Each structure stands twice: as structure tokens, then as C-alpha cells.
């Protein structure tokens, strides 16, 4: 590591040690070293093979439910087989040693922060392992109450045995609202933190990326951890160019 990089690392570590409150936003890059593909990598990213509008919108699912369901089924299998890496573990260990000092919001749906032991993860884009009903349930006061999933025909997404609804993965697609409570808590943390760590995200998707702008506007220091340039570099006080599984343990081991 160059002298400049080492100095930047020490500077950020000092900011973190001095911080009363730290907010953190993670993206697909934090799970890359666990073997989960990112979205926007030109060679290996998911969008190199698929168009987002064909898979990650409710219109795509309505148009071709088996196609979208099969894509998610494959990713569920892949994500079940991977393990949290040193970056996930460094965050969870820090939270154990310093309860309440770091609020973690993630755009990831893979559950790896939770499996590493991070408490209270704000899952802004949902959870790929959970299902939800496509339409509001006609039979129950709350969607899904009292309903059951019926065995699906091969290749088809399951349907509700009672109301006939199609079942979809409980993730946030483009054009959909983020879970209001999780977003509100993430915004509150970004608005009151002393340091905001933005890790492994291209910063291309809003409102999640807006958390970094909010933190900066409220006077926090914004630090990016990413081996490549991101769309949030202009907002940052420091950009640490490197993989998160290597840098997070170095930043958070105190």
C-alpha cells in the first residue's frame, strides 16, 4: 500500500474513533468477495447479461412471471451457498463491541450482514429469501394473513391457495417504494452521524445513494470504500480505493 493510502487509512480510522455516531451504507461490492455477483460490473455484473427492465420491475414480472421467478430462484440458490466475508464480520464485531454506535443500512438482499451477526440491519431493498403477494390480498385485512402458498407447476411462480395471488420475491424493484420505516431510520442516522461510510456501491440508485448527500449536507465526513470509482466520489471527504473485505477490518478493529 502506498504512503498516501496508508495515511488516508489512518486519517479515516481516527475520524471513526472520534465519532459518536457512524452511519454505513453498503452495496453489492461488500458481498463480492463472498462470491455474490454485483449488478453493474461490465464483465461479471448481473446487468452485463440481463437488462434491469426485463427483470427488476413489476412490469417485467407481470409480463413474464416464470422468467423473472427463475432468475430469482437461481440467485436464491447461489446466495444460500455463500458465507459472510471478513468485511461483513468486521462490521458485526464492531457493533458487538460498540453497541448503538453504528447504524447499518444495506441495499443488499442477500442477508449476509444479518448472517454475520449485525443487529438491526436496515434492508432498504428487501430480502430475497422472503416472498410477498403480487397484489394486495382480496381476502385478508393484511395481505397474506391466513393465506397459504400452493405448490407451483414446474417453472411457474407459486400462487396463493386462497386468493389466487401470484407470489413474488420480497425485494424492491425499480419504481417501487422502499420500506418506509427502514428508509426513515437510515435517513435519521445519515442526518445525525459524524462519519458516513459508503461501501461497495456504485451510488447509482436512489433514494439509497441520497443518504450520502444528506450526511454531507448535515456536516458529516463521508468516506467511500470501493476498488473502483463510484458516482458518489464527488461527495466524499476521502475515497479508500480497495476491497472492503480487506479495508473494513483495518478501519473497524478498535
Active site residues: 125
171 interacts with ligand BJW by CB under 6 A: yes
Angstrom CA distances, 73 to 101, 155, 184, stand at 36, 10, 30
* 3-class DSSP state of 143: coil
Rounded to a whole number of angstroms, the minimum distance from the CB of residue 97 to ligand BJW is 23
Residue 51 beta carbon to ligand BJW: minimum distance, rounded to whole angstroms: 12
Site string for ligand BJW, 81-120 (x = CB under 6 A): --------------------------x-x-----------
Measured CA to CA in angstroms, residue 147 lies from 69, 251, 252 at distances of 20, 47, 44
The verdict on 174 binding ligand BJW (CB under 6 A) reads yes
* Selection from 119, 104, 121 nearest residue 244 by Cα: 104
Hey, is 6 helix, strand or coil?
helix
Minimum distance of ligand BJW from residue 114's CB (angstroms):
15
Distance CA 231, CA 234 (A): 7
Q: How many CB atoms lie within 10 A of CB 79?
A: 19
Residue choice 65, 84, 111, 200 for contact with ligand BJW (CB under 6 A): 200
Which residues form the interface with ligand BJW (CB under 6 A)?
Answer: 27-29, 32-33, 38-40, 45, 56, 107, 109, 125, 171-177, 200-202, 204-207, 226-228, 230, 243-244
Amino acid at each position: 500500500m502506498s504512503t498516501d493510502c496508508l495515511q488516508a487509512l489512518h486519517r479515516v480510522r481516527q475520524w471513526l474513533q472520534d465519532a459518536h455516531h457512524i452511519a454505513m451504507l453498503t452495496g453489492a461490492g461488500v458481498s463480492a468477495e463472498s462470491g455474490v455477483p454485483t449488478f453493474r460490473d461490465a464483465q461479471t455484473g448481473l446487468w452485463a447479461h440481463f437488462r434491469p427492465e426485463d427483470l427488476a420491475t413489476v412490469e417485467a414480472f407481470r409480463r413474464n412471471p416464470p422468467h423473472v421467478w427463475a432468475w430469482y430462484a437461481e440467485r436464491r440458490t447461489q446466495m444460500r451457498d455463500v458465507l459472510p466475508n471478513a468485511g461483513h464480520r468486521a462490521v458485526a464485531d464492531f457493533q458487538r463491541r460498540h453497541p448503538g454506535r453504528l447504524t447499518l443500512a444495506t441495499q443488499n438482499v442477500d442477508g449476509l450482514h444479518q448472517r454475520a451477526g449485525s443487529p438491526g440491519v436496515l434492508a432498504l431493498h428487501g430480502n430475497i429469501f422472503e416472498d410477498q403477494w403480487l397484489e394486495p390480498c382480496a381476502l385478508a385485512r393484511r395481505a397474506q394473513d391466513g393465506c397459504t402458498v400452493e405448490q407451483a407447476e414446474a417453472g411457474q411462480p407459486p400462487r396463493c391457495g386462497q386468493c389466487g395471488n401470484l407470489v413474488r420475491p420480497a425485494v424492491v424493484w425499480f419504481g417501487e417504494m422502499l420500506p418506509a420505516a427502514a428508509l426513515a431510520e437510515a435517513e435519521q442516522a445519515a442526518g445525525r452521524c459524524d462519519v458516513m461510510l459508503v461501501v461497495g456501491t456504485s451510488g447509482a440508485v436512489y433514494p439509497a445513494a441520497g443518504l450520502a448527500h444528506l450526511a454531507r449536507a448535515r456536516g458529516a465526513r463521508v468516506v467511500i470504500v470501493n476498488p473502483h470509482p463510484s458516482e458518489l466520489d464527488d461527495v466524499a471527504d476521502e475515497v479508500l480505493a480497495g476491497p472492503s473485505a480487506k479495508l473494513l477490518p483495518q478501519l473497524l478493529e478498535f
